[in-house]
Chains A and B, each alone.
Chain A
Amino acid sequence: MERKIVGIISGKGGVGKTSLTASLAHLASKDYNINPIILDCDVDAPNLAIILPAASQDEIQTKDVFTTLKASFLEDKCVHCKQCIDDHFCEFNSLSWDEENEIPIIEYLACEGCGACKVLCSEHAFKIEPVKSGEIISYTSKMEFPLVYGKTKLGSTTSGKLVSDVKQFAKDLKEFSNCNLVLIDGPPGIGCPVIATVSGLDYIITITEPTPSGLHDLIRAIEVIEQFNLPFGIIVNKYDIVSDFRKKFETFIKNTGYDILGKIPFDLSIPEAMSFAKPVVEYAPESKASISIFEIFARLKSILWIN
């Protein structure tokens, strides 16, 4: 079967991306025709690894990533002309003036590493260097597939780049040549880490819930997906929660004609499975939620490889 790369995103946070990814990963690993690689690209708050742990602790590999650039100041070269401040070298307001010592101060967190200060300073009193932006962690999980995830170094402001690094890392794995399904747990929102996640995918699953903010965020996520012209399907989690809004939500989706990949009922076996750190399809395979996820998996397979 041809290799397919599938991402799971949601405009809104906390609607079940990771729970769903873990269940789909579990089902994929049990399927004889599928050799999956699983990625967690929610690099600000990765936690897929909790439900899909390593087969053994010794196997976990951690690689530091240095894709962030940051400016540093070379005091011996500074002639205290204050031109960097007066001419507003930095568009990100990360340069301020230390009146006492008559030198610029770089605010590390605000610095984007663009190099403007380095190029514009006539005395070459700034340099730009790569600094650690995060880690890529990889291992073979208990379910025997490779799992790769990224984790940003806090304050490095480069979540999007790290997402691309995680995706590249997976492509360089020896298992990649034999793999026919890459499943990516994406970050919430619609900003730069999400854009980095969805670029180059074959199919996107966007998961939401029938609440006003769930709908609002779904529409925004779809706007991003459509910019990239990628095929996608919607999963409605907790589709049966009782509320006045549910009808409105259902009518809206119906009128758009968007493809509903599946619906998951509100089912306490999901939070229960989570508290035992297991995919719900493994923890409670007979539950209503699990049955709906089996159906979603079957539909996903037919979309990816039959249509």
Chain B
Amino acid sequence: MFKNHGYKVLLIDGDVENPNTYLLLGGKLKNEVAVPFFRPKIIKEECTKCGICAENCTAHALLYVKDSYPIPMLAVCSGCKLCYKICPVNAIEEDYNVIGWTYKTKINKISLMVGELKPSEARSAAIIESLFEDLDYIIKENPNKYDIIILDTAPGAHCDVELLIKRADIVIPVTEPTKFGMMDLIRIIDLITLLGKKYKVIVNRSSLLGFKEEFLKELENKKIDILGDIPLDNEILASYCQGVPIMDEKSKYSINGAGYIAFQQIFENLLKWMDNL
């Protein structure tokens, strides 16, 4: 919708465990760049088997038995490089593993940056850091290249989500009017508040009625602002499956449909909110 209104939009998909935005926009990933991650490489010719590296590794990522070479356990390595820095005989070299990729592409006039974690790798936060490095570079080159940058996060409240929230000016948690939704919403709002950011909530599947009254009352008690509602709507699901956003010109979605009207309203509310920042 920002694009439809003439904004220059950059979408960063920071759900690196499962990046999906390109599927929903009906595009393909391009311009793959590998994300390297430090791993220690032991130079046996230099190593004196002293064990200082292993002794100081808080992640216990170096397995050391007296009088033998330390063995790096890459799965638990935090990448702090302390072993490399403290080895008294410089027997540890910086080596790198690929833990994922970043992509840059343009789909239907929306610039897209996507991070992807390699399955079975755990260091997802490093992929997000890599996206941010690219972003910093872009902004430095041309601060006005984009009017709006949208960051899509992973579900949950772990380090990846935290990194992305930290970077944002305003945050939009999406929830649903169920007990689960309520509980997870409170968690994410606590995190947003801890990081000192402003937020307004979108209530998805707002036509689920069972718990809704209680849910809305709870939001009111906690003085949580609602940015908008999205009702359950088969046409939203259909557009999701086709990879054509319902607000796209190519979508066959009816402009009188409940979902379309809901998105329109959310967009207006968001513009108003952004104007008042």
Measured CB to CB, the residues of A under 8 A from B are 11-14, 18, 42, 44-45, 47, 50, 69, 90-92, 109, 112-116, 119-120, 128, 152, 154-155, 157, 159-160, 187-195, 211-213, 216-217, 220-221, 223-224, 227-228, 241-245, 271-272, 274-277
Contacts and interface: CB of A to CB of B under 8 A. Distances in A.
27 contacts: A11-B17, A13-B156, A14-B155, A42-B156, A44-B157, A50-B180, A69-B58, A91-B80, A114-B78, A120-B85, A154-B157, A154-B190, A155-B195, A159-B156, A159-B159, A187-B156, A188-B154, A189-B18, A190-B117, A191-B117, A211-B241, A213-B23, A221-B119, A223-B120, A227-B119, A241-B237, A274-B178
A70 to B, nearest CB: 11
Interface in B105-129: 117, 119-120, 122-125
Q: Which 3 A-B pairs have CB atoms at the shortest separation, nearest pair first?
A: A275-B210, A13-B155, A114-B80
Contact of B124 (A109, A188, A192, A216): A192
A116 B184 contact: no
Contact of A45 (B82, B117, B156, B242): B156
Contacts of A159: 156, 158-159
A243 to B, nearest CB: 4
Contacts of B178: 271, 274-275
A50 B179 contact: yes
Nearest to A223: B119
Most buried by B among A11, A187, A191: A191
Given A155-B162, A188-B155, A190-B17, A47 B183 contact: yes
B179 A213 contact: no
Contact of B159 (A14, A157, A224, A271): A157
Contacts, number: 169
Nearest to B81: A91
Contacts of B59: 114
B211 interface: yes
B155 to A, nearest CB: 3
Given A154-B191, A216-B23, A271-B178, A45 B157 contact: yes
Interface residues of B, number: 57
Contacts of A11: 17-18
Contacts of A274: 178-180, 210
Nearest to A194: B17
B228 to A, nearest CB: 19
Given A195-B120, A243-B237, 10 more contacts: A44-B156, A50-B180, A113-B58, A114-B78, A116-B82, A119-B86, A120-B86, A271-B208, A274-B180, A277-B179
Interface string B58-72: 110000000000000
Given A113-B58, A190-B117, A216-B23, A44 B18 contact: no
A69 B60 CA distance: 13
B162 A109 contact: yes
A165 B180 CA distance: 24
B160 interface: yes
Contacts of A188: 17, 154-156
B179 A275 contact: yes
A47 B242 contact: no
A171 B119 CA distance: 28
Contact of A213 (B18, B123, B159): B18
Interface of B: 16-18, 20, 23-24, 38, 56, 58-59, 78-82, 85-86, 117, 119-120, 122-125, 154-162, 166, 178-180, 183-184, 187-188, 190-191, 194-195, 205, 208-211, 234, 237-238, 240-243
Contact of B24 (A155, A191, A213): A213
A11 to B, nearest CB: 5
B133 to A, nearest CB: 11
A190 B18 contact: yes
Contacts of A193: 156, 158
B191 A217 contact: no
Given A114-B59, A277-B179, A12 B18 contact: yes
Contacts of B125: 157
B64 to A, nearest CB: 16
Contacts of A191: 16-17, 117, 122, 124, 154, 158, 160
B82 A120 contact: yes
A159 B122 CA distance: 11
A227 B75 CA distance: 12
A61 B187 CA distance: 20
Contacts of B17: 11, 188-191, 194, 220
